[in-house]
Structure 1
Amino acid sequence: MSALARRLLAILLALLAWPAQAALQITDDAGVTVTLERAPQRIVSLLPSLAETVCELGHCQRLVGVDRYTNWPEAVKALPRVGGGLDPNIEQIVALRPDVVLMATSSRAGERLRALGIKVVALEPKTHADVQRVMLKIGQLLEVPDAQRIWRAIDAAVMAAAQSLPPGARGTRVYFEVNPGPYAAGEGSFIGETLTRLGAKNIVPAALGPFPKLNPEFIVRADPDLIMVGERSADGLMQRPGWQSLRAIRGQHVCVFRADESDALVRPGPRMAEGARLMARCLAEKAPGVKKGGVRP
């Protein structure tokens, strides 16, 4: 064998021995392990918090479609809308040729999309630990090595919001309404956990679930010190039976959040720190135990 042939053979053997690039694997919240040949370049998101997380991790440009409720950051507003998590437009999603679809575990579209050969990753954060885990999983999916750093910044900002509060805000009994069901944020939800970190007490116990639908009489009996509610729900508060007698209503201890503020508050994702600051501002300005001007500069 000539020297050239030996050299070519050596190169060929080296190439054969070179390890193939490992496939990307991720196990989602439904317990399904999804395998991709590489990090997805075309992503459809059917849950606002997941789209926001993709953008926070620096890969907003990979989103090619989002659900009808996703509206942050500004860059996503120009993307095609593919329905909602519970009623997605399957044909439109297929036409977008996604490498992967991100959705909530509660979405009914997963099976149909998988049957059409589309990769699906189901993730649904409900607690602080879930937000951290989902941040890291999407970071793994996008091959972002410093996703943990972003979570640490969020966690530190929540802590800073808690430290900004005057002592009189501590122990305030809070009712947080998520939407007019009325659905509330319970102690076990990420919103409830934020309230706990802010030193407030949630009138909705963890035993009722993260976001239970309540009988309005439950709220009347609990008689919270402070009510946090979005402007979508606020108009009908006084018409609810017995609510005129609530101490929070009588004392005007009610925080009404704008629609954009409510979005930040109720989405378990990278804007959780902004939500904590909004809740802290509410407590500092409206809690019965805080003197006027109790907000720290």
Structure 2
Amino acid sequence: MKKLVALVLTILINSLVYALKIEDGFIVDSKGNRVEKKEYKKVLILDPAAVEAFYLIGGEKNIVAIADTAKNPIWPQEKTKDLPKAGTIMKPSIEQVLMYSPDLVILNTMSEGFGESLKARKLNFIINEGNSFEQILSNLEVYGVVTGQKENATKIVENYNLKLKNIKEKISKKPLDIKGGFLFSTSPMMVFSPNSLPGQIFDTLGIENIAKGLPGGRPILSPEFLLAENPDILVGSMAIKNKSDILNSNPVVKQTKAGQKGNIMIIESDKILRGTPRVIDALEELYQELSNVK
């Protein structure tokens, strides 16, 4: 029984830590989908984070098409804006996918159901997922194999690990020691949980997450709860575009420390919430900006 429990715990831990991993000659995602471990010449990517990862390691030549993100640009925008499109992230087009004859399709969690259409047509696919710094950098190593840029990917991962270590050391010497909420929406007021990428960002910065202990990935905050927690800062992203959207979302907001002191911040979602190493680049900038919050 002890061995069985240990095995189950190991499986659970691995699924949480590694979104993509290499196992017995296969690339395996967190949902159990697997493809052969090799370079793929014609990759169709329906996840913006994976597109950015390919460009970061020099594997863009392997991309045949991407998903249209409409309002949110994909880095590096001057190069990705002209790439062929195969539908949107939420509504990929199977007809357009087939038109490009990809040897691998990369989905994200929002288009996970599209995998059934790909499976029916015997198309290789995996799901990209990056909910932590560790997952993001692990994925980058896997994409080094997929693009034939393994050596380059390994060097970039090493550099980002060092950068992340240095940032954490800097923050540990002077943590922010403030309380905050990372808002997903204002109506209703929903926040990211500590187990999300925004939650890890808060934890790394030394910000106490008011969502700690609340059930769900994006719990809804009641006015009473928000007032009781009385956060020092409120950070908005996703569909929240203006500070006034947060301030005017509920009269209680203006009664909190964040509202009274004007500690309201808007962050571009593609810069800090997309699961790519650019999150680590933005982490230090965010720390500097929040250092003056009282």
TM-score norm. by structure 2 comes to 0.78
Instruction: Classify the secondary structure of the residue corresponding to 1:174.
Output: strand
Assess, with a 3 A threshold, how the Cα gap between structure 1 residues 43 and 220 changes in structure 2: closer, same or farther. farther
* Aligned counterpart, 2:94: 90
Instruction: Classify the secondary structure of the residue corresponding to 1:158.
Output: helix
Cα drift, residue 159 of structure 1: 3.7
Q: Which among 71, 75, 79 is matched to residue 72 of structure 1?
A: 75
Counterpart Cα distance in 2 of 1:24 and 1:166: 40
Counterparts of 1:226-245 in structure 2 under 5 Å?
Answer: 226-230=233-237, 232=241, 234-241=243-250, 242-245=252-255
Instruction: Classify the secondary structure of the residue corresponding to 2:90.
Output: coil
Assess, with a 3 A threshold, how the Cα gap between structure 1 residues 235 and 202 changes in structure 2: closer, same or farther. same
Counterpart Cα distance in 1 of 2:101 and 2:113: 20
Aligned partners of 1:40 and 1:100 also within 8 Å: yes
Counterpart Cα distance in 1 of 2:100 and 2:222: 43
Runs of 4+ in structure 1 deviating by more than 6 angstroms, as ranges, are: none
Counterpart Cα distance in 1 of 2:96 and 2:171: 47
Instruction: Classify the secondary structure of the residue corresponding to 1:263.
Output: helix
Aligned partners of 1:43 and 1:98 also within 8 Å: yes
TM-score norm. by structure 1 comes to 0.78
* Aligned counterpart, 1:5: none
Cα drift, residue 165 of structure 1: 5.5
Instruction: Classify the secondary structure of the residue corresponding to 1:67.
Output: strand
**Unmatched 5+ residue regions in structure 1?**
1-22, 289-297
- Between the aligned residues of both structures, percent identity stands at 19
Q: Which has the larger radius of gyration?
A: 1
* Aligned counterpart, 1:152: 158
User: How many aligned residue pairs are there?
Assistant: 260
Q: Which has the higher strand share?
A: 2
Cα drift, residue 247 of structure 1: 0.8
What letter corresponds to residue 73 of structure 1 in structure 2? P
Assess, with a 3 A threshold, how the Cα gap between structure 1 residues 117 and 203 changes in structure 2: closer, same or farther. same
* Aligned counterpart, 1:212: 218
Are 2:44 and 1:44 aligned? Answer: yes
Cα drift, residue 207 of structure 1: 5.6
Cα drift, residue 265 of structure 1: 0.5
Counterparts of 1:142-291 in structure 2 under 5 Å?
Answer: 142-146=147-151, 147-164=153-170, 170-180=176-186, 182-205=189-212, 208-209=215-216, 211-217=217-223, 218-230=225-237, 232=241, 234-241=243-250, 242-257=252-267, 259=268, 262-285=269-292, 287-288=293-294
Aligned partners of 1:126 and 1:268 also within 8 Å: yes
What letter corresponds to residue 32 of structure 2 in structure 1? G
